[in-house]
């Protein structure tokens, strides 16, 4: 009924033939898997006005749908250029935006790096020859920040810290808060030099009471281009390619996964 009314409205504004052509174009577009879309579908099926923590907020792409839903957002973006773009893209006055970097310890005056290859690989680690120091930042933990903000709940914890995701998790206040959904990135080629593999991060989440899924993508040939999605597998598992990368998606034990399963069926999973 709602879709029918939307289409009727578009017909009135744009004309039936224009709308038909738009629909033909949309149907020809290939399906593109996205962990962010899967999680958004889960929250659409389990609605609430929640709290999101976005570590590595980039331009605000991940947080924007939740801001539109009226959620409370804590966003962390230490890269000054990315932070400026985030402010341009969204109404940043409606979120708590932090310039600090998140880890499992407190420290000041820590170098932070960015690369001309891609605005998406800013990091506390210079893991590419193209990385250059762009900022000196304060390191803090989510336990400290959440304590300072008096936050008592987190519904969605999203982490994209370019190799430092496990340290962000280890600094979370698990003794008093457990998010319903957690999204974090893994890539062993990036994290082995930092002292951990993806299995250790997945096991850590399992020990905290989560069902952990490994969303694997093909090895990165070049940063800043579109990548190919490979598979979705419940942990424990092995990667299909040891050079692969991807995301861990963790759902708190006991929550329904029917909405996530419905989304995955579109991709034959």
Q: What is the DSSP string of the chain?
A: -HHHHHHHHHHHHH-HHHHHHHHHHHHHSPP---HHHHHHHHHHHS----EEEEES-TTSTTTHHHHHTT-EEEEE---HHHHHHHHHHS-GGGSEEE-SEE-SS-EEEEEEEEESS-TT--BSS--STTEEEEEEEEEE-HHHHHHHHT----SEEEE--TT-HHHHHHTS-TTT---SEEEEEEEHHHHGGGT--HHHHHHHHHHTTEEEEEEEEPPPSSTTS---EEEEEESS---SSTT-EEEEEEEETTS--HHHHHHHHTTT-
Give residue 54's pLDDT: 98
Give residue 4's pLDDT: 46
pLDDT, one tens digit per residue, over 150-208 is 999 999 999 999 999 999 999 999 999 999 999 999 999 999 999 999 999 999 999 99
Per domain, the residue ranges of the chain are 1-30, 32-265
Give residue 224's pLDDT: 86
Percent of the chain with pLDDT over 90: 86
Intervals of the chain under pLDDT 50: 1-4, 23-29
Return the CATH class of domain 32-265. Answer: alpha beta
């Amino acid at each position: 009924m709602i879709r029918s009314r939307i289409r009727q409205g578009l017909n009135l504004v744009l004309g039936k033939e224009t709308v038909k052509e738009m629909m033909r174009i949309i149907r020809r577009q290939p399906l593109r898997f996205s962990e962010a879309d899967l999680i958004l579908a889960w929250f659409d099926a389990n609605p609430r006005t929640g709290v999101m923590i976005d570590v590595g907020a980039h331009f605000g792409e991940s947080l924007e749908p939740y801001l539109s839903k009226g959620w409370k957002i804590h966003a962390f973006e230490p890269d000054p250029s990315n932070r400026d773009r985030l402010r341009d893209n969204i109404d940043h006055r409606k979120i708590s935006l932090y310039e600090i970097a998140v880890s499992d310890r407190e420290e000041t005056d820590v170098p932070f790096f960015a690369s001309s290859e891609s605005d998406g690989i800013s990091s506390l680690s210079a893991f590419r020859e193209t990385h250059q120091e762009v900022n000196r930042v304060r390191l803090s933990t989510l336990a400290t920040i959440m304590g300072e903000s008096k936050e008592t709940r987190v519904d969605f914890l999203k982490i994209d810290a370019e190799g430092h995701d496990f340290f962000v998790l280890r600094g979370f206040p698990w003794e008093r808060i457990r998010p319903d959904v957690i999204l974090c990135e893994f890539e062993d080629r990036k994290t082995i030099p930092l002292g951990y593999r993806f299995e250790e991060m997945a096991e850590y989440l399992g020990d905290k009471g989560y069902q952990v899924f490994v969303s694997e993508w093909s090895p990165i040939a070049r940063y800043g281009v579109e990548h190919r999605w490979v598979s979705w597998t419940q942990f424990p598992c092995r990667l299909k390619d040891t050079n692969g990368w991807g995301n861990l998606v963790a759902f708190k034990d006991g929550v329904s996964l029917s909405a996530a399963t419905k989304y995955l069926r579109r991709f034959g999973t």
